[in-house]
């Protein structure tokens, strides 16, 4: 893979209208991360994009919770490319899981709902997430056994703070954004 700011791009995980998400590995530490690369926009849209990116970075920095995507760092390059580094998750977003596996069982639906509500409770101290959709809910595949030999399901993580509302002020929005 190609290199980007000391990170080797291992695999493109997702592509969207605004950019791409890659699995990336640091060339020295070998740490694996998810790297969200948001493409530059025309000058007339740059201030809105910068505001969205700043909001997302600040929320990631402030909100630490087991059900919220872990944040490692961010940068804005001179050409306007925004880069966000987060934990690399193993699993599927809920939208893909539902397409692939069909409806959740009542027990799984309850588990996912409780995990998402825990994330939202932690986030709502700082912001209101205005884009809770199946594609922004990620189910991690890992299954662990705790110290008392209880089986723990994989964690559910909430992703993407780009449309959050902070301190009563809405984040930057566009027509068609989820309210």
Catalytic residue positions, numbered: 131
Burial category of 164 from C-beta neighbours within 10 Å (exposed 0-12, middle 13-18, buried 19 and up): buried
The dihedral sign for the CA sequence 91, 162, 55, 45: positive
Other beta carbons within 10 Å of 140 = 16
CA 128 – CA 36 distance, rounded (Å):
22
Give the tokens for residue 174: 């566009």
How many Å separate Cα 151 from the centre of its chain?
A: 26
């Amino acid at each position: 893979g190609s290199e980007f700011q000391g990170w080797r791009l291992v695999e493109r995980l997702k592509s969207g209208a605004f950019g791409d998400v890659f699995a990336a590995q640091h060339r020295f530490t070998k740490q694996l991360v998810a790297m969200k690369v948001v493409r530059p926009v025309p000058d007339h849209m740059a201030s809105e994009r910068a505001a969205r990116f700043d909001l997302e970075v600040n929320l990631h920095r402030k909100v630490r919770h087991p059900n919220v995507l872990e944040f490692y760092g961010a940068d804005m390059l001179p050409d306007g490319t925004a880069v966000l580094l987060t934990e690399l998750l193993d699993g599927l977003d809920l939208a893909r899981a539902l397409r692939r596996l069909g409806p959740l069982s009542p027990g799984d639906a309850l588990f996912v709902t409780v995990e998402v509500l825990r994330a939202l409770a932690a986030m709502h101290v700082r912001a209101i997430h205005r884009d809770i959709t199946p594609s922004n809910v990620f189910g991690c595949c890992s299954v662990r056994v705790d110290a008392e030999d209880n089986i723990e399901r994989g964690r559910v993580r909430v992703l993407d703070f780009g449309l959050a509302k902070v301190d009563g002020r809405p984040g930057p929005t566009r027509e068609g954004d989820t309210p």
